């Protein structure tokens, strides 16, 4: 059979055409003024390493150097992760109410890779997935690329961003493949109570819909709050929990994530096999870090985690105090993670008509970058990343106050 092509005509695939990162399109509009004299301060990227104040514990570096020097961790690891790495994840995250063995763990390329596998194994083209609004934009990007419909359940700011459970239930139909729950939350910094998580689980149980629990901010919670892994609160809802080293260990660039499979009464038998199949396509994270994972997960001293929480709590206090005093802005106090959502009272501003315009002008005039709520499907808010150093945060809020004073009616 001969080809009838007479010239080059190469089109990108359907999948590539559908692939998009909604943050990118918005952030591209937020330009630094080339004539700006003020030093640029980014409150926009959820990467705690940028300012040098949050580091991985030294013991993790030592574990990696040790593994390098054995010359034994340089080969291809098994596709779903080495037994030692999976065993360490099972030991760290398994509890009597939700026990884990190494066979229930799949190692992935970051939590993003873990999420991709979860969506791929649970959702077919034409089905739908229930996502939080506001929420982390990767969920929708993954779903839409795969022709999976996205339906949004609202988080209620007046209730510390709890899920509108009544609305959640109404969204479920015969095509609902799963519910994604993110706790603690990006972008909200919320941490759900046991009772609230149980209310969500009750809906999932009633309609037999499995859950993907994005628990990447595992235990990053402030005084007065407790983190409950979702799988510990149910005996009948099957759950895929995803996590990684990026946030709790402050090394997003290491690209290590995982899925823990919490089956209930065999409901996930096919799903575990499907995940193993999917993991065969592209190998997980690099062999050296996998080899060091048992040390990193099981030997990092408790004082390291406590130190990070203390710093985040201080930054939260500084952020809430400063932003509450700025007319036109209303922060929702975070309970964990590393973000704060701030409501903008748009009608009170004389020349700002949206959160995107607020962020654009703040960037152009004050060289401070915050992501508009639009990036998280939630207009009239901005999201502030609270990991910068105290002096950078204070400077950013000083500039934000000047900016709002100029633009407020």
Ligand X SMILES: Cc1ncc(COP(=O)(O)O)c(C=O)c1O
Binding region for ligand X (CB under 6 A): 46, 110-112, 136, 182, 186, 214, 216, 244, 246, 252, 257
Nearest distance from C-beta of residue 376 to ligand X, angstroms: 10
- The number of CA neighbours under 13 Å toward the Cβ of 12 is 5
| Residue with Cβ nearer ligand X (117 or 326) | 117
Nearest distance from C-beta of residue 109 to ligand X, angstroms: 8
3-state secondary structure of 215: coil
Distance CA 220, CA 337 (A): 5
Separation in Å, CA 248 to CA 161, 257, 335, 337, 372: 22, 12, 15, 9, 25
| Residue with Cβ nearer ligand X (77 or 243) | 243
Farthest-apart Cα atoms in the chain, separation? 74
**E-strand stretches of 19-135:** 41-42, 105-109, 128-133
- Cite the DSSP H helix spans in 97-193: 110-122, 138-145, 165-171
| Residue with Cβ nearer ligand X (138 or 352) | 138
| Residue with Cβ nearer ligand X (64 or 107) | 107
Q: Which residue has the tokens 């004299």?
A: 37
Nearest distance from C-beta of residue 182 to ligand X, angstroms: 5
Nearest distance from C-beta of residue 285 to ligand X, angstroms: 10
| Residue with Cβ nearer ligand X (182 or 367) | 182
| Residue with Cβ nearer ligand X (136 or 397) | 136
First-to-final CA distance of the chain: 72
Nearest distance from C-beta of residue 84 to ligand X, angstroms: 20
Q: State the residue number with the nearest CB to ligand X.
A: 110
- Please, are residues 240 and 270 in contact by the beta-carbon 8 Å criterion? no
| Residue with Cβ nearer ligand X (182 or 241) | 182
DSSP 266-281: TTTHHHHHHHHHHHTT
If we measure between CA atoms, which residue out of 153, 189, 145, 192 comes closest to residue 171? 153
Distance of alpha carbon 125 from the chain centroid: 24
Return the structure tokens found at 280: 């065969």
Nearest distance from C-beta of residue 36 to ligand X, angstroms: 27
- Please, are residues 336 and 215 in contact by the beta-carbon 8 Å criterion? no
| Residue with Cβ nearer ligand X (213 or 363) | 213
Nearest distance from C-beta of residue 370 to ligand X, angstroms: 16
| Residue with Cβ nearer ligand X (196 or 248) | 248
SS3 content of the chain, % helix, strand, coil (to 5): 45, 20, 40
Angle at 118 between CA 113 and CA 119, to 5 degrees: 100
Nearest distance from C-beta of residue 115 to ligand X, angstroms: 6
Nearest distance from C-beta of residue 55 to ligand X, angstroms: 17
Distance CA 11, CA 17 (A): 10
| Residue with Cβ nearer ligand X (46 or 210) | 46
Nearest distance from C-beta of residue 70 to ligand X, angstroms: 26
b vs e for 282-298, b when ≥16 Cβ sit within 10 Å of the residue's Cβ?
ebbbebbbbbbbbbbbe
């Amino acid at each position: 059979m001969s080809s009838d092509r007479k010239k080059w005509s190469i089109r990108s695939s359907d999948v590539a055409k559908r692939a998009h990162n909604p943050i990118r399109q918005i952030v591209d509009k937020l330009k630094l003024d080339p004539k700006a004299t003020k030093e640029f301060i980014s409150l926009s990227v959820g990467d705690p390493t940028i300012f040098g104040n949050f580091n991985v514990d030294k013991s993790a570096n030592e574990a990696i150097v040790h593994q390098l020097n054995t010359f034994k961790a340089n080969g291809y690891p098994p596709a779903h992760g080495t037994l030692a790495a999976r065993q360490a994840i099972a030991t760290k995250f398994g509890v009597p109410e939700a026990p884990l063995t190494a066979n229930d763990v799949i190692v992935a390329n970051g939590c993003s890779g873990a999420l991709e596998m979860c969506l791929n194994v649970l959702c077919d083209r034409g089905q739908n997935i229930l996502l939080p609004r506001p929420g982390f934009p990767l969920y929708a990007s993954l779903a839409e690329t795969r022709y999976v419909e996205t339906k949004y359940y609202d988080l209620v700011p007046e209730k510390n961003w709890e899920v509108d459970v009544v609305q959640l239930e109404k969204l479920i139909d015969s095509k609902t493949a799963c519910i994604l729950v993110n706790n603690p939350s990006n972008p909200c910094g919320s941490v759900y109570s046991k009772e609230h998580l149980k209310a969500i689980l009750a809906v999932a149980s009633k309609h037999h819909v499995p859950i993907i629990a994005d628990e990447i901010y595992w235990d990053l919670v402030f005084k007065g709050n407790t983190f409950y892994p979702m799988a510990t609160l149910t005996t009948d809802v099957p759950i895929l929990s995803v996590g990684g080293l990026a946030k709790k260990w402050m090394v997003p660039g290491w690209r290590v994530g995982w899925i823990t499979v919490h089956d209930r009464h065999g409901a996930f038998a096919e799903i575990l096999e499907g995940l193993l199949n999917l993991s065969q396509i592209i190998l997980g994270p690099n062999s050296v870090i996998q080899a060091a994972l048992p040390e990193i997960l099981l030997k990092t001293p408790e004082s390291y985690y406590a130190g990070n929480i203390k710093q985040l709590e201080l930054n939260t206090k500084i952020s809430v105090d400063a932003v509450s005093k700025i007319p036109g802005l209303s922060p929702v106090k975070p309970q964990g993670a590393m973000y704060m959502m701030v409501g903008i009272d748009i009608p009170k501003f004389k020349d700002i008509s949206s959160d995107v315009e607020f962020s654009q002008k703040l960037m152009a005039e004050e060289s401070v970058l915050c992501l508009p709520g639009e990036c998280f499907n939630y207009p009239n808010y901005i999201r502030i990343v609270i990991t910068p150093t105290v002096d950078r945060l204070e400077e950013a809020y000083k500039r934000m106050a000047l900016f709002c004073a100029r633009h407020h009616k």
